[in-house]
Amino acid sequence: MPSTDQTARETALLALSACERQGAWSDGFLKKTLREAGLDSRDAALATRLCFGVLQNRLLLDFYIGKFSTTRPEKMEIKVRNALRLGVYQMAFMTKIPHNAAVNESVELTKKHCKNPRAAGMVNGVLRNVSRNIDRLPVIESGSREEYLSIRYSHPLWLVREFTALLGSEEAEALLEADNGQPPITAQINTCRATMEQTLERLAEAGVEAQPHPWLADCLVLSGTGNLEHLTAFREGLFYIQDPAARLAVEVADPKPGMKVLDACAAPGGKTFASAIRMGGEGEIQSCDIHAHKEKLIQAGAERLGFNCIKTAVMDGKKHRPAFENAFDVVIADVPCSGLGIIRKKPDIRYKDPEPLEGLPAVQSAILDNVATYVKPGGVLLYATCTLLERENGDVVRGFLDRNKDFTLEKFQLPEPLGRADNGMFTFWPQRHGTDGFFIAKLRRNT
């Protein structure tokens, strides 16, 4: 267990190394490491910036390291490699940090955490050489435009090729750049408890900067929040955090007061909460997830926001429940997916092995086929993912329609400047809309 006197850089090193070695997700593991380290808010922010910055630029950092080291980065001990990445990242991307501090801290971390007694000398030599050449770092030389983009924006080549095929080279680069940006923190107001004006007033009292979202009602863009869970307005359930695209999925599904709604793959509960707010807390929402510990997260959120209309259960979306047949006015299926639309928030998702992802459409189709039986005649089935791959999005929906003739796609209107989805499907893009990458399809069951 990390000691409580470790530094921000040490926390980042331990988190990066554990995620690389164990396959843990950076956001969850970093939060756990920060709690155990007991860092103050300033050091916690630095550790987060370092961890996410290295992940966002890992291939580029390894390219630079490889040019200044006789040992290839992939041949190094994990903690040595990450100590070097941290040092190069600070010098290349964080202009306010003195180079000697970046070098010395990485050397000390290597001495403390790495097995090879000669590793610290190597780290010192490589980083001092990088420091001397920081204004003339090596140019990326590659055999193709896609290979250049892969290194420049630290996305695996297979993913660059996927995005280029979807968008063309120019817009694919804009997406890769957006993936390496910092997403805004967007708060959805619990209008069952407070108005926008009341929420803004309470946030201002806590020193939080908040501005109305430019095109989504009852949504705020926050900055200077610190730990959100410490805010009185959060604890009192005046708002919850959710990306505008996910919130709009519920707007499109259009649950109304008194309806019965199923959120079939609900964790962490954002669409459940958005449904409850849209329904004014009147009706019944069955919020389900396959993981028991995530059910508890939904329960805690519902209690904080003050909704008694939400019932939770552990459920595998692929396994049929006869009691649910024809029972719901609205069924929301935000299915497990590759997550390639939320790289801004989980930068390590880009490094997933692509081979296991090939089986996801079959899982998504099985869930969709099953939960479709839970929709009442005339009801709505909302399919959603947080990925940008067509084989998990439109292809799954079209396959479903081929197998289920009693469902049809239904067009829907979105806020300006997004327009209307005349074909019943819409993809949100980070580089176009400033949201997560997100896909929704609205299906209506025939009466």
* 270 annotated to a ligand binding site: yes
Alpha-carbon span 218 to 256, nearest angstrom: 17
Alpha-carbon span 273 to 176, nearest angstrom: 31
* 172 annotated to a ligand binding site: no
Catalytic residue among 19, 114, 219, 386: 386
Alpha-carbon span 302 to 260, nearest angstrom: 17
| Residue from 326, 410, 411, 336 nearest 368 by CA | 336
DSSP string of 298-332, one letter each residue: HHHHHHHHT-SSEEEEE--TTS--GGGTT-EEEEE
* 334 annotated to a ligand binding site: yes
* 267 annotated to a ligand binding site: yes
Name the residue with tokens 């990925």.
Answer: 387
* 98 annotated to a ligand binding site: no
* 179 annotated to a ligand binding site: no
DSSP string of 157-185, one letter each residue: HHHHHHHHHHH-HHHHHHHHHHHTSPPPE
Are 147 and 154 contacting, i.e. CB atoms less than 8 angstroms apart?
no
* 266 annotated to a ligand binding site: yes
* 12 annotated to a ligand binding site: no
From the number of C-beta atoms within 10 Å of its C-beta (0-12, 13-18, 19+), residue 28 rates as: exposed
Beta strand 438-445 pairing with 375-385: antiparallel
219 catalytically annotated = no
Torsional class of 277: left (φ above 0), alpha (ψ -120 to 50), beta (otherwise): alpha
Which residue numbers belong to the known binding site for S-adenosyl-L-methionine?
A: 265-271, 289, 316, 334
Which residue numbers belong to the known binding site?
A: 265-271, 289, 316, 334
Catalytic residues: 386
